[in-house]
Chains A and B, each alone.
Chain A
Amino acid sequence: MSAWRQPGLWLPLLLVAAAAIWPAFGNNASLRETIFTMLMSVALASSLNILLGYTGYVNFGSIVFFGLGGYLGFYTVSALGWHLLLAVPIGGVAAATLALLLGSAVLRLRGAYFALATIGINEAMKALVINLDFLGGPTGMNLNFSIYQEYGGPAQALWLTYWALAVITLLVIVVSYLVKKSKFGLGLMAIREDEDAAEVMGVVAPRAKTTAYVISAFFPGLIGVLFFFKNGIIEPESAFRLHLSVELLVMVMLGGAGTVLGPVLGAAFYQRLRGLLLTSELFKNTQLVVAGVLLLLIVLFIPAGAVGWLRHRFAPLRRLLE
């Protein structure tokens, strides 16, 4: 396909692949953990970008899909004893189904109302899970150590999780690129610019928005399964962490909403910054403040984000950066 010849596609793929392979040299487990977090952010931010950047709908509660997928996947692995790689698609399908069911209702809201509704969905899902005994209620669930035997021990299980995440992250980028370059993506961007005008031109906005919502929910659902499997424990507070949603928004905005490369760079930069801040006593408890200030600065000074700004400033870069 001609898309493979486009730098807009292979540049982010190359960056992610290079980062992903790095910990394999020397079997470096601590580096692997760092890159795991980074890849996860890249994939979650890129998924969010499909709704936020392409379609113009600000999802403040995108983490609900991560949490829901995580929960169902965790349940399939720990209670039903299924293999991780079977549980992953279950998490994705569960998240996508939730988006499909809610989409047509909640996507009728625009602007701040939509954003508020997404927060509500996340909180409602958290409350629901707390009340479901088979998912462990308020205390959540733990993985039994014996589970790892199936994978040849804990170390192998962690590597498997890592490589699965790497593959999914690359897949998210490919999907993000293909959506952006498709007729469907053009429809989404028309909705972002002026939904009523888009409908007048024939864009079936309800269907397009729901599809975008479902895609942007599917991948976080997959990733949630991997993350909580790796952690070995899942609880409502960690699965539906609203502030992670907000951090994802910052990453997308920082790198450039509506671009393929933007969320990749934004996520990597944000996680690097966060890593630095976490080691400092002073900033340890203020990372959300930093995120908030960052968001404010971006919205005020570079609303297009880094990649958007570069594209705007330097025309020759437009062929290179999508």
Chain B
Amino acid sequence: MILQVDNVTKQFGGLTAVKNVTFGLEEGEILGLLGPNGAGKTTLFNCLNGVYAPTMGRIIFRGQDVTGYRPYRVARLGLARTHQIVRPLNELSVRENVVVGACYGREGLGLRAATRVADEVLELVGLHERSHQLASSLNVAQKKRLEMARALASHPYLLLLDEVLAGLNTAEVMGMLATIRKICERGVTIIMIEHIMHAIMNLSHRILVLNYGELIAQGAPAEVAQDPVVIEAYLGNPEMAEKLLEEEEI
């Protein structure tokens, strides 16, 4: 078990964004995290990597209780993430952005070794031709790749991907999916938040569904897609429900 989440709750004032969430994660797994807008998916990520300390509950990462750890401590232990709203280091080059990930990630590499890792990762995500550009000059799709490259460069055990496919066109989505598969083959465990159903259904070994902060379903993709509770959760959003039903037919 690489990650064990025990009864994690996160409140913002009166709002409970994540409520009593419990789940475990095996090494090498790709876990999909689904849920309507505002369900608490990003907040759960923020709790896992230390951006927020959970109001209640415990998070055990690779046998170590990391509840309430600062993000840099969690990062050092080998948990990396991307941001749903991209956060490039604008005035640094693309390569420098990725070198930061390698320098300060799990392995804490020196500059020279980190640069080598950065070049390798940039190649993997297809940004190598832009490595000397400033990060601010990238378009959104490229910035998403940069987020991914930075996280990967830290050589994490566990990678949290927050909607890396959102806003990408079909070709870009296909490219990104291939990249994620490659990462998984390298033995990195992944939790991914995604709204694009076919992507998450195809890629994930297992799916969790959050609604109003609560875990309402979990299981294999096919089971979850047919779960009446899940379908109902998406009924507030007919378009989503439709997509989900489409999935069933395929």
**Which residues on A are within 8 Å of B, measured CB to CB?**
182-183, 186-187, 189-190, 192-194, 196-205, 258
B92:A205 contact, CB within 8 angstroms: no
Contact residues in B for A200 (Cβ distance below 8 Å): 49, 51, 71-72, 75, 81, 83
A201:B105 contact, CB within 8 angstroms: yes
**Which residues on B are within 8 Å of A, measured CB to CB?**
49, 51, 70-72, 75-76, 80-81, 83, 87-92, 96, 99-101, 103-106, 108, 110-111, 114, 150, 154
B72:A193 contact, CB within 8 angstroms: no
**Closest 9 CB pairs between A and B?**
A202-B104, A202-B75, A193-B89, A197-B87, A199-B71, A190-B100, A200-B71, A199-B72, A204-B72
A183:B154 contact, CB within 8 angstroms: no
A193:B92 contact, CB within 8 angstroms: yes
Known: A193-B91, A197-B83. A187 touches B100 (CB 8 A): yes
Contact residues in A for B96 (Cβ distance below 8 Å): 186, 189
Select one of B72, B80, B101 contacting A205, CB under 8 A: B72
| Beta-carbon nearest neighbor of A198 in chain B | B100
Distance in angstroms from B91 CB to nearest chain A CB is 6
Tell me the dominant secondary structure on chain A's binding face: helix
B104:A203 contact, CB within 8 angstroms: yes
Distance in angstroms from B193 CB to nearest chain A CB is 16
Question: How far is B153's CA from A186's CA once the two chains are assembled, in angstroms?
Answer: 15
A199:B89 contact, CB within 8 angstroms: no
Interface centre among A182, A186, A187, A194 (most CB of B within 10 A): A186
B110:A201 contact, CB within 8 angstroms: no
Contact residues in B for A196 (Cβ distance below 8 Å): 51, 71, 87
Contact residues in A for B49 (Cβ distance below 8 Å): 200
B111:A182 contact, CB within 8 angstroms: yes
Question: How far is B150's CA from A201's CA once the two chains are assembled, in angstroms?
Answer: 8
Known: A194-B89, A202-B154. A186 touches B99 (CB 8 A): yes
A202:B105 contact, CB within 8 angstroms: yes
Question: How far is B72's CA from A197's CA once the two chains are assembled, in angstroms?
Answer: 10
* 19 A-B pairs with C-beta separation under 8 A: A183-B103, A183-B111, A186-B99, A189-B91, A189-B92, A190-B89, A192-B91, A193-B90, A194-B87, A194-B90, A196-B71, A200-B75, A200-B81, A201-B72, A201-B100, A201-B104, A202-B154, A204-B72, A205-B72
Contact residues in B for A183 (Cβ distance below 8 Å): 103, 110-111, 114
Question: How far is B106's CA from A7's CA once the two chains are assembled, in angstroms?
Answer: 34
Question: How far is B153's CA from A202's CA once the two chains are assembled, in angstroms?
Answer: 12
Contact residues in B for A205 (Cβ distance below 8 Å): 72
Question: How far is B145's CA from A166's CA once the two chains are assembled, in angstroms?
Answer: 47
Question: How far is B91's CA from A114's CA once the two chains are assembled, in angstroms?
Answer: 22
A201:B75 contact, CB within 8 angstroms: yes
Question: How far is B90's CA from A186's CA once the two chains are assembled, in angstroms?
Answer: 13
Contact residues in A for B106 (Cβ distance below 8 Å): 202
Contact residues in B for A182 (Cβ distance below 8 Å): 111
Question: How far is B200's CA from A102's CA once the two chains are assembled, in angstroms?
Answer: 49
Contact residues in B for A190 (Cβ distance below 8 Å): 89, 92, 100, 104
Question: How far is B108's CA from A192's CA once the two chains are assembled, in angstroms?
Answer: 20
B76:A202 contact, CB within 8 angstroms: yes
B72:A203 contact, CB within 8 angstroms: yes
Contact residues in A for B88 (Cβ distance below 8 Å): 193-194
Contact residues in A for B104 (Cβ distance below 8 Å): 187, 190, 198, 201-204
A186:B72 contact, CB within 8 angstroms: no
Distance in angstroms from A288 CB to nearest chain B CB is 30
Contact residues in B for A258 (Cβ distance below 8 Å): 91
Interface centre among B70, B81, B104 (most CB of A within 10 A): B104
Contact residues in A for B105 (Cβ distance below 8 Å): 201-202
Question: How far is B51's CA from A186's CA once the two chains are assembled, in angstroms?
Answer: 22
Known contacts A189-B89, A190-B104, A199-B71, then 9 further A-B pairs from the complex at CB < 8 Å, ordered by chain A residue: A182-B111, A187-B104, A192-B91, A198-B89, A200-B49, A201-B72, A201-B104, A201-B150, A202-B104
Contact residues in A for B87 (Cβ distance below 8 Å): 194, 196-197
Contact residues in B for A202 (Cβ distance below 8 Å): 71-72, 75-76, 101, 104-106, 108, 154
Question: How far is B102's CA from A183's CA once the two chains are assembled, in angstroms?
Answer: 10
B100:A203 contact, CB within 8 angstroms: yes
Question: How far is B99's CA from A4's CA once the two chains are assembled, in angstroms?
Answer: 23
Distance in angstroms from B97 CB to nearest chain A CB is 8
Contact residues in A for B72 (Cβ distance below 8 Å): 199-205
